[in-house]
Structure 1
Amino acid sequence: MVLSFGHRFPTAIKQIKRCNVLVIGSTGAGKSTLISSMLNFPISDSVTNSISNPPYQKPGLPIAIYDTPGLENNKKQQDRVKDQIAKFIKQQKYKEPEDQIHAIWYCVNSQVTRETLIDRRWISSIAKELPVIAVITRASGVEKSWLEPFLRGISEIKKVIPVMAVREKTPHYDIKPYGLDSLLFGTEHLLEEIAKKAILNAMKSKADKSFGLCIDGCAKVLTARLLPVPMMQTPLVATLQSWMLADISKTFGYNFDGKLLSELCAVIGTTGIEVELAQILNNLPGVNYDNIQTVHDVLSQFGVMLNGMTDALPFKDQLIDLLPGLDNFNPVSGFPIFRCIAAVTTALCTGFLALAYIEAMKIYKQAEYEGEPLPDIKETLKYLVQQWMEAIKIGFGIGSIPAFAN
C-alpha cells in the first residue's frame, strides 16, 4: 500500500515541516504493530519502557511517530507513564513548530469489553492540549456493537478510526489490512489547526523569555538614570536599550545590526511619551503630593489605574506585570518620588519600548513561519507604539497624541 500525507494542505505542512504524532494506549493495544505497518519497517514488540526519541519516520512521508510505554493494569505504573507523557508534551510544547507534538493517536483494542478500561478523564485532559484521534486496533467489526459509538460519544475526541494494521485470519474471518490511509487522511485534515497552534506556541515561548529581558533592561536603565554623573546617563541609557532589543531579537532568532537597533530605540522618542508619562506620574489620582510619596506609592497607583482601564489597551497585562519589577528594585522603591521621577519615567518608557518590540517581533516571526513577506520592523514598531500611546492617553484623559516625526 502506498501511503501519502500532507499533499492536501501544502501550506500547513510547509509551516511545521512534519506532523509529530504521539501514540498512546494500553499494553497490548497494538501501538507498535500500527507504527510498523504505517512506516513499513519492523519495530520490536518488546515492552517499551520510554518514549521513542528520536521518533520513527519513513522517507517521503512527512509524519514522525513517537511510541510510548503501554498503560498496564497497575495503577502506580499507569500514573508513572501518564506523568512521563504529560512531561514530554510540555517539554516539546514551546519549541519550534516542527519539534512540538502535534497530535495524539489513542489506540484501543477492539476486544475491549468494558468502559472502565478506557480512561476517559485522562484522554479528555490530553485533548485540551492536542487533537486526539481514537484508533480502534484489530478492528474486525465487533467494535461496532458498543466501542465505536462509545468513543464517538466522547466530545473531546476529534475522530474515531477503525484500523486493521496486519492481516488477521481466524476460523471465522479473514480480514486484510485496512484503515491506515483513513488514519493518515483524518490526521491530515487537522493540519491547518495544528500549524496555527504550533506557531502560536512557539511565539508565546519566545515572548515569555523576552519579557524577562524586558524587566532586566528596565532595571538596568533605572540604575543608569540614577548615576550621579548626568553626562553619562543619556548615552548609557541608549546603549542599554539597544542591548535589550538585541537580546530580544536573538530570542526570536534574529541578529539585527546596531544601526537598525538604534533607530528602533529612537522610535519611542518620537512619541513624546516621556514628557506625557512624567505628567501622568506627577498627577495620579489618589496620590497626595503634599506628603512625601515614594516610588512604591506612585507605581502602585499607576498599576491600579492601568488595571481599571479597558482591555483594549495593548499588552495591558504585560504592562501591569512589569511594574512589580521596578517596584521591587530595592535601591529605588522607598525613594521619594520627586528625587527620581525622571529615572522612573525613563525606565517605564524602556518597558513600553520593549513590550511593543516583543509584539512587533511576534508579527515579524509569524510572517516568517507562515511564509509571508516580512513586514518592515521599524514601521511595525512605530504603529504599535502609537496605538499604545493613543489608548493610554485616552485612558488617562490627556487628549490626542502628536503625529510621528518622519
Structure 2
Amino acid sequence: MQNQNIENYDYEKDFLNKFEEEKKKYKRPNILICGYTGAGKTSIIQALLGKDLVPDNKIGHEANPMTQDYDRYENSYIGIWDSKGLEPDKGQDEFVERTKNHIRKIQENKNVDEHIHIFWYAISVGVGKVTGTDLKIINSFPKESTLVIISKIDLDRKNRVVEAIKRELTNNGIPEDRIILTNDEAKEGIEELYEKSLAILPEAYKTAFEEAQRIDIEKAINKVKEKNKAAAGIIAGATVSSAAIAANPIPISDSLIITPIQIGMIASLAALYGLNKEQLKHQALPLVARTVGMITASSLAKLIPGLGNALNSAVAVMITGALGWFVQNQFEKMAIAKVKGEPAPTIDFDFSVFAEFLKNYKKNNDNK
C-alpha cells in the first residue's frame, strides 16, 4: 500500500474482515437443553454459565427465536439451544418430531463447529415421574453426548421421588453416571454437570467451555491469562512481517505501509480474547482508528526523536511490538472483566499514552 492511496484504505472493513477470519480459529461448543416448561432449564444455564449469557429479563421471553421450539443464546465462548413450549398434554408428539428434525438439520451441517456437542435433558423432581415424551426425546440424542438432569431437588431430603425417577431412567438405558441431581439456586450438582460436560466434549471445544463456566471464576480468569502465549505468537508474527517490509529502509512518508499488518494483529488479538460486537464497535474500532492516525510521518517523528527521513526494520519492529503488547494488555483486562461480570474498562489510547508505553517498551527491551 503506497502513501498516495492511503486515503482509499478502508481500515474498518479490513479490520472486520480479518476479525471474522481469525474468529474461525477458536472453537465454540454448542449445547442443547431440553425439557418441559418449568424444569429449570434457564436457571441451570445461569448457574453454570452466568447471567451474562442469559440475563433474568430473558427468562420467559424469546432470545433469538431460531425455531418455534428453541431459543438461541450465545456469546464468544458458547452457544445454547434452549427448548420452549413443551407443555404437559399439549402436542407432545408433534414437539418430539420437530425436535428430532431440529437436531437432524443441525447435525447434517458439514461444518462440525455448528453441530450440537452436548445434550442436556432436564426433569423437574416436582413432576414426580418420567414421561414417555421425556424418554422419546432423550433417546433421540446420541447417548455418548447426553446428560440427564434431575432438577429442583430438595437439599434436605433426596426422597423416594428422586430415586423413582433415577430408577425409571436407568431401566430405560440411561447410565446412572449420566444422571445428575441439581438444585440450581444452591448450585448443588452444577459443578458435577460442568465436569461431566467437559469430559464428554471433543477436545477442540474444551478451552472455550472452561472459559465460559462461571462456577470457578479464578479458573476462568486463569484460562484468559493463559492466552498470553498465543498473543505473543501473534505479535511476533506481526513484528516479523513489519520488519520484512522495512528491511530496506522506506521513506518515513510511506510509514503507513505497515498499517495493514498492525490492523491484522489487532484483529487477531480481538478474536483471541473473544471480543463481542459491542466491544468491537465501542473499543476495538476506535482504537484502530487512532492507530491509523498515529502511524504517520509527523507522529513517528515525535514518537522517536532523531528518526530521520527513513523507517528501518528496527523501528518497524519496535512500533508494532509496542502496539501489540499495549492492545494485548487492554484486551486481556476486558476479557477478565467479562468473566467477573464487571463493566469493560475503557481503552485510554491517544498519542501521549502510546508515547509513554513505547518509551517503557523500548527501555525494557534494551535491558534484555
Give the TM-score taking structure 2 as reference length: 0.40
Structure of greater Rg: 1
Q: TM-score, normalised by structure 1?
A: 0.37
Q: Taking CA–CA contacts closer than 8 Å with sequence separation of 6 or more, which of the two structures ends up with the larger relative contact order?
A: 2
